[in-house]
A and B are shown apart, each in its own frame.
Chain A
Amino acid sequence: MRASINVDHIARIEGHGNVHVVIEDNEVKTVQMEVVEPARLFESMVRGRSFSEVSYISSRVCGICSASHTVTDLLAIERIFGVKVTDRVNALRELLVYGSYLQNHGTHLYVLAAPDFLGQKSVFPVAEIDPALFDSALALKQLGNELCTAVGGRSIHPITAVVGGFTHEIGPDEYLAFAERMEAMVPFALATVDVFNSFTVPDMRTDGDILAMYAPDKYAVCDSRVAKFIDADVAFDADEWTDHIEEYQVPHSGALFARVRATGRPYMTSALARINVSWPHLSKQAKVAAAKAGLRPPERNPFRNNVAQAVELVDALERCAILCRRLAADEFEGASTPAPFEVRAGRGVGYTEAPRGVVFHELELDDAGRVVHASIITPTSQNVANMEADMRQLAELLLTQGADEPTIRLRVEELVRAYDPCLSCSVH
């Protein structure tokens, strides 16, 4: 086969990207994920700004994981100031991050990915084909939005999360109401695992490494500082992220690419990566659902990221319900009102698992608390290099199976969507 596959502005992903695959004599010659997002230059624009504004600005890196960027920045600042927040504040932050998981996974699975498997161009026809599924999917997404609004004050770009704590909190009755709604949503999330597990996907294994947050005793998303590369078998503190991750520039992408510094290999970070690292600590029903779906480490098929996200929906719902009940019962030590702190100079790295994977914010502040240097690395910018490698592998696999050009084109698009890339995020 000889073909030049070009998909401009690949649809149903966040941000703008073009896919180029060139095939000559039945051989894959070139594979490019062209990230055509304009640079917004966040790392430059926060220079000189006060610490009190930074999390508010960097939240704007991404409309869907704004909660993660906010929390990550606050963690970096608090590390510099030496602020120790209460257990209650940590619980609220976890709730906020999980809220963004519900938003992100719900939106990605049903609005962006599902049409691929249902043979549709968008989710809207599903409203007629399967109204019950459509309504439940929207209700799940809405629950995530309402949780983020209740905790952060707004579904996108949190208001209440500040250095040291929160400026506002909802009451116990509202927490309990959320707990009940979370529990009531679990059956639909379990069904979501089954639905996405039932879709046929190409059989492939990524050759890249896998990176996710690690904690010895829990499925950590925002309260561990340790990141772990599975293949390179390296665990490192967030402060040392540049020793282990190498960012590099390529002409066809506004996003910097990334690879494991020790091995030079690309890597994947995602829900699937977290499942690989933290599988033993999934919540009870999530673990059962994962086992039933055959999703257990090592799972290296990037298409299975969809199933991993569905499993995380179950996990997040169960965890949010517990968090909400405990917040209502005042079981966490301390208050949520911002802790007092003193501004001082220093360098700190904040680290969380955003819905799409590892995110680091490195900040250096002067003694007035103004930003001297900032560096942000998002999940998608870490994934693009691996995505390209997987696209090549997939195209080669499909060629050996005698697939035609439209099939290769569609499958490659589906692969990109399975990564749930946020290209606007990746360029920032």
Chain B
Amino acid sequence: MGAFSLITDAERRVPRVVVVGLASCFGCQIQITNAEPYLMQILGQIDLQYWQLVTSEDMPDEFDVAIIEGAVTTREAEQTVRAVRERAAHVMAIGACATTAGVTGMAAPGLGGRVGEVYEGAAPESSGELIEPRPVSAVIEVDSEVLCCPIDPMDFVAALQRVLFGSNRLPDTRTLCSDCKRNETECFYNDATLCLGLVTRAGCGARCVNLGRPCNGCAGLSPDANVEAARMACATYGVDVAAFDKALEMFNQVNPALAESGDE
């Protein structure tokens, strides 16, 4: 963990940053560029050394901060993140794919059979050696995370500030329901409509619920979530419990906490 090593570095150099993309839609990297009004200010704080999406500079051998987007879905990607971990003082995982395996993780069960549903025979060699999708934290230690699918550009800016300047802020582990209480939005369960806010990490401000759409759980399962109680709540409010479990897979397919609850 090198959370504060950057500011104690004797050289006090501007932190050298790389951005690495794994299996993803690239949306979280795009979201970084979508912090338009602040983009140049951010770049003024860092020494951006590598970002394949945006510049043609090659990946350097030395850097301080690595920002990783995407899930680990190949042996090659596994090696990449290990190599990154060896060099980086701070590793930040951004977006659902990197933090929970996200939608990408849905392909995990029966991976081998799935390949045959899309390709004739094996997947093309250039796809790499496929493994069950997993978040970056399943392979290496991750120092900080920016949640959601996609990330909010300002969440990224805030997280980067914490890396650059230090912070004693602890990760928020509340569930989304607490945000809806604060927002005084009506609960979908009153209408017997499935919503994953019961067990999903807060932090987005209940963006989807505010726009009339139930939470799909893109921030991932909260460590405080009581999944069993949520299932009971579903039953009480007339929501199909099996549908709740199924919906939870979308962003939590490979979460060991759900595997342990043993309902699948």
| A residues at B contact (CB < 8 Å) | 9, 11-16, 34-41, 43-45, 47, 49-50, 53, 56-57, 60-64, 66, 107, 111-112, 115, 121-124, 127, 138-139, 141-142, 145, 153-157, 159-160, 162, 167-168, 249-254, 256, 422, 424-425, 427
Bound CA–CA A56/B218 (angstroms): 11
- Measured between beta carbons, the chain A residues less than 8 angstroms from B36 are 138-139, 141-142, 145
Q: DSSP class of A's interface residues: helix, strand, loop or mixed?
A: loop
What are 13 contact pairs spanning A and B, CB under 8 A?
Answer: A11-B53, A11-B56, A35-B126, A38-B23, A38-B128, A40-B73, A49-B246, A62-B26, A63-B31, A159-B211, A160-B213, A168-B211, A168-B213
Q: Which residue of A lies closest to B111 (CB)?
A: A41
Bound CA–CA A115/B51 (angstroms): 14
Q: Report whether A253 and B118 are in contact in the complex, using a CB–CB cutoff of 8 Å.
A: no
* Given A44-B114, A45-B103, A254-B123 contact (CB < 8 Å): yes
CB distance from A325 to the nearest CB of B (A): 23
Q: Report whether A45 and B124 are in contact in the complex, using a CB–CB cutoff of 8 Å.
A: no
Contact check: which of B28, B102, B127 meets A36 at CB < 8 Å? B127
Task: Confirm or deny: B165 has a beta carbon within 8 angstroms of a beta carbon on chain A.
Answer: no
Q: Report whether A11 and B26 are in contact in the complex, using a CB–CB cutoff of 8 Å.
A: no
Q: Which residue of A lies closest to B54 (CB)?
A: A122
Q: Report whether A153 and B208 are in contact in the complex, using a CB–CB cutoff of 8 Å.
A: yes
Task: Confirm or deny: B43 has a beta carbon within 8 angstroms of a beta carbon on chain A.
Answer: yes
Q: Report whether B55 and A121 are in contact in the complex, using a CB–CB cutoff of 8 Å.
A: yes
- Measured between beta carbons, the chain A residues less than 8 angstroms from B183 are none
- Measured between beta carbons, the chain B residues less than 8 angstroms from A124 are 40, 43, 48, 54-55
Q: Report whether A107 and B28 are in contact in the complex, using a CB–CB cutoff of 8 Å.
A: no
- Measured between beta carbons, the chain A residues less than 8 angstroms from B208 are 153, 159
Number of contacting residues on B, CB 8 A?
61
Contact check: which of A11, A47, A60, A153 meets B55 at CB < 8 Å? A11
Q: Report whether B28 and A63 are in contact in the complex, using a CB–CB cutoff of 8 Å.
A: yes
Contact check: which of B43, B48, B127 meets A427 at CB < 8 Å? B127
Contact check: which of B54, B120, B133 meets A123 at CB < 8 Å? B54
Q: Report whether B25 and A39 are in contact in the complex, using a CB–CB cutoff of 8 Å.
A: no
- Listed from nearest, the 8 A-B pairs whose CB atoms lie closest are A63-B27, A167-B212, A122-B55, A11-B56, A44-B114, A254-B127, A63-B25, A45-B106
Q: A35-B126, A43-B118, A145-B36 are in contact. List 4 more A-B contacts (CB 8 A).
A: A38-B77, A122-B51, A124-B55, A424-B25
Q: Report whether A162 and B213 are in contact in the complex, using a CB–CB cutoff of 8 Å.
A: yes
Q: Report whether A153 and B30 are in contact in the complex, using a CB–CB cutoff of 8 Å.
A: no
* Given A60-B103, A168-B212, A253-B126, A53-B34 contact (CB < 8 Å): no
Q: Report whether A121 and B126 are in contact in the complex, using a CB–CB cutoff of 8 Å.
A: no
Q: Which of B235-260 contact A (CB under 8 A)?
A: 243, 246-247, 250
CB distance from B206 to the nearest CB of A (A): 11
* Given A138-B36, A145-B34, A159-B207, A37-B23 contact (CB < 8 Å): yes
Residue-wise, chain B 150-189 has the 8 Å CB interface mask toward A (1 for contact) of 1000000000000000000000000000000000000000
CB distance from A33 to the nearest CB of B (A): 10
Bound CA–CA A63/B151 (angstroms): 11
Task: Confirm or deny: B144 has a beta carbon within 8 angstroms of a beta carbon on chain A.
Answer: no
* Given A38-B77, A57-B250, A254-B124, A156-B106 contact (CB < 8 Å): no
Residue-wise, chain B 36-64 has the 8 Å CB interface mask toward A (1 for contact) of 11011001000010011111110000000
Bound CA–CA A254/B207 (angstroms): 35
Bound CA–CA A256/B118 (angstroms): 10
Q: Which of B89-135 contact A (CB under 8 A)?
A: 102-104, 106-107, 111, 114-115, 117-120, 123-128, 130, 133
Contact check: which of A34, A64, A121, A123 meets B57 at CB < 8 Å? A121
Bound CA–CA A425/B133 (angstroms): 17
Bound CA–CA A248/B83 (angstroms): 35
Bound CA–CA A253/B31 (angstroms): 27
Q: Which residue of B lies closest to A427 (CB)?
A: B127
Bound CA–CA A142/B39 (angstroms): 12
Bound CA–CA A256/B213 (angstroms): 34
* Given A36-B127, A53-B250, A162-B213, A156-B31 contact (CB < 8 Å): yes
Bound CA–CA A36/B31 (angstroms): 23
Residue-wise, chain B 1-44 has the 8 Å CB interface mask toward A (1 for contact) of 00000000000000000000111111111110110110110010
Q: Report whether A111 and B33 are in contact in the complex, using a CB–CB cutoff of 8 Å.
A: yes
CB distance from B32 to the nearest CB of A (A): 11
Q: Which residue of A lies closest to B51 (CB)?
A: A122
